[in-house]
Structure 1
Amino acid sequence: MTEPQRLSRRLIEQVGCSRREAELYIEGGWVTVAGEVVDVPQFMVQDQPVALLEGAKAEAPEPVTLILHQGAQVDDRSALASITPASQAAEFDTGKRVLKGHFRRLQCLAPLQPGASGLQVFSQDWRTTRKLTVEFNKLEQEYLVEVTGTMRDGGLERLKRGITHKGVELPRVKCSWQNETHLRFALKAPEAGVFAQLCAAVGLTPLSMRRLRLGGVSMGKLPAGQWRYVTAQERF
C-alpha cells in the first residue's frame, strides 16, 4: 500500500502540471478519485485511481449566486448553514456541477421583511454583491401576504393611489388579489412593517408574508428550505 498523499500532489505526478494548475483542476471539479469527483486539493489518497476528466480546464470556477426559499423566523446565519448539496432543489437542477467551493464566502444580500419567508439571495459574485448593495432600494419586490378580515370598499384602488393610516402616509403599491385570502404587493424598498400598515389601512390583518420576486428574478415554485442557482440569463 502506498503512503497517503494529497490529491494535488498525485495529480502533479500523473499529468505533469504545476501545483497551481493541479489546484485549479481539482477545485473546478475536473478530477475524480475512484470515479467520484473530489474538489478538495488537500484530500488524501492512497491506492485509489485518480483521473483528470476530458475537457478539463485549469481555471478558477465562476463565482455563483444562489436563491434560497428561506423560512420565516430563520436568521441569515441559519439560512446560510442550510445551503448544502443535499438541499439543492432537484426540479431546478440545470446540470451545473455542484462544487464545495460554491458554498464558500457566500454573502446574504437581500434582507427580508421581519417575520417573512421566501426568496433570499446568497452570492460570492462581486458583480451581484455590488448591484444588490448599491441598487437594492431601486429593485421592485413582490410579496404574497396572507390576510384575514374584510377589505373596505375600494380598498385596492386606495392602496394603489396611496393611503394614509394613523397619520402616516404609506407608499403607493401595485396590489391584487391572488385568491380570497392572499394579496400580492409589489413595491420598491419596503420598510419594515409596511405590509401590516397597508393591510390595516383597508381593514385587513396580515397572517404571513412570502417574498416571491426581487427585481427580475423570481423564486418560482422553489420548495421551502431548498435552493437553486441563479442562471446567466436572469437579471436582478
Structure 2
Amino acid sequence: MNSPEKPSADGVRLSKVLAERGLASRREADEWIEAGWVRVNGVPAVLGQRVLPDVRIDIDPLAHKQQAQRVTVLLHKPMGYVSGQAEDGYEPASVLFTAANRWKEDNAPTQFHPGHQRGLAPAGRLDIDSTGLLVLTQDGRIAKILIGEDSRVEKEYLVRVQPMNPATVEPGQPMLPPQQMALLQQGLALDGKPLRPARVSWANEDQLRFVLREGRKRQIRRMCELVGLKVTGLKRVRIGSVVLGKLPAGQWRYLRPEERF
C-alpha cells in the first residue's frame, strides 16, 4: 500500500495546480485533498503538498457528486458521549460515525465516504447522561429547521422518573398529582422565561412521555425537578416525523431521501 507523499519544497502548491487546470477552486481542492479524493502519481495527496506542473493528478469520480450532496446522519447516542465538541475528557458523539458503526439495516442509497465526516455538526443536543436520536448534518438548511429560533419541530422523549422525596407519595396514589402534571404541560418557566406548552403523559408507572417544541439546556430534567421528580433515564425517540426505531445504541444510519423532519 502506497503511503502519502511528504509535501515538497519544490514545485507549486497542489491546490493551485488543480485550480489552474480548472478542476476545482482552491478551497474545493483543499477539501478534496483532506477528504482523500485526490491522488498524485497514484499516491494519496496531503494538504500543503507541492507538485511539478506536469504531475499526474487523479480525482475520485465521486468527488463532485459527494461534494454537492450534503449528508445527514441519524445516530443513536449512548451515554458517556457529548453532543458537540469534546469536553471534560469526554468524546463527541461524532466519533461514532465510522463505516464500522453503520447500521446493517440502513437501506439509504448513500455510500459511506470519509468526506462525509467533514463539516458534520449536531443539529440539537443530548446531555452526556441522555441517550437516543441525535442528528448530525452537513446541511445548514436542516440545522435551521431543527434548531433555528423559529423552529417548531417536535422532539419526543421517554423519561424514567422517581420521587425526589418518596415519603411524600401516599401508597396507592400517583407519583405525580394532577395539578403537578398540569404544571409540566403548561405553566413552568426556566431562567425567568415561560416554557412553550408541552405534551406530557404517562408511558407506564414510572416513565413519562414528553413532546416538546423547544430545547433549553437540560430542560426536561429541570422541569421534573420543579415538580418534585428526579430523572433516572432519558431517551429521545423522535424528531419531527423521523423516529429512532430499532437503530441500536452506538450505531447510525443516513437520513433517507424521502424522509422529512
TM-score range relative to shorter protein? 0.5 to 0.7
Whole-angstrom distance in 2 between the partners of 1:40 and 1:221: 33
Whole-angstrom distance in 2 between the partners of 1:203 and 1:146: 13
* One-letter amino acid of the counterpart of residue 145, structure 2: K
* One-letter amino acid of the counterpart of residue 64, structure 1: V
Q: Matched residue of 1:138: which SS?
A: coil
Q: Matched residue of 2:105: which SS?
A: helix
> 1:153 aligned to 2:177?
yes
* CA separation of 1:44 and 1:161: change in aligned 2, threshold 3 A: same
The residue that corresponds to 1:73 in the other structure is 80
> 1:105 aligned to 2:119?
yes
Q: Map of 1:1-236 to 2, 5 A cutoff?
A: 20=23, 40-42=37-39, 45=42, 59-61=64-66, 62-75=69-82, 76-77=84-85, 78-113=92-127, 115-135=129-149, 137-149=151-163, 150-154=174-178, 158-159=182-183, 161-164=185-188, 171-236=196-261
* CA separation of 1:93 and 1:155: change in aligned 2, threshold 3 A: farther
The residue that corresponds to 2:51 in the other structure is none
* CA separation of 1:143 and 1:57: change in aligned 2, threshold 3 A: closer
Contact 1:159–1:173 (8 Å) recurs in 2: no
* CA separation of 1:210 and 1:81: change in aligned 2, threshold 3 A: same
Whole-angstrom distance in 2 between the partners of 1:206 and 1:105: 33
Whole-angstrom distance in 2 between the partners of 1:136 and 1:43: 47
Q: Matched residue of 1:152: which SS?
A: coil
Contact 1:117–1:210 (8 Å) recurs in 2: yes
Aligned residue pairs total: 202
Whole-angstrom distance in 2 between the partners of 1:136 and 1:226: 30
* CA separation of 1:79 and 1:204: change in aligned 2, threshold 3 A: same
Deviation string, structure 1 residues 157-193 (Cα, Å, up to 9, x no partner): 5246524599x76653212222222211001113224
Contact 1:155–1:202 (8 Å) recurs in 2: no
Shift of 1:74: 1.0
Large movers: runs of 4+ above 6 Å: 3-6
Shift of 1:101: 1.9
Shift of 1:222: 1.3
Contact 1:141–1:215 (8 Å) recurs in 2: yes
Deviation string, structure 1 residues 186-211 (Cα, Å, up to 9, x no partner): 01113224323433454432102111
Whole-angstrom distance in 2 between the partners of 1:152 and 1:194: 18
Shift of 1:234: 1.6
Whole-angstrom distance in 1 between the partners of 2:156 and 2:3: 54
Whole-angstrom distance in 1 between the partners of 2:210 and 2:95: 30
TM-score in terms of structure 2 length: 0.62
Deviation string, structure 1 residues 121-170 (Cα, Å, up to 9, x no partner): 1111232234334356422211111112352332575246524599x766
Question: What RMSD, in angstroms, separates the aligned Cα atoms of the two structures?
Answer: 3.9
Contact 2:159–2:231 (8 Å) recurs in 1: yes
Q: Unmatched 5+ residue regions in structure 2?
A: 6-20, 44-60, 86-91, 164-173
Deviates more, 1:157-166 or 1:132-141: 157-166
In percent, how many aligned pairs have the same letter?
31
* One-letter amino acid of the counterpart of residue 70, structure 2: P
Whole-angstrom distance in 2 between the partners of 1:152 and 1:57: 56
Q: Unmatched 5+ residue regions in structure 1?
A: 7-17, 28-38, 47-55
* CA separation of 1:235 and 1:157: change in aligned 2, threshold 3 A: same
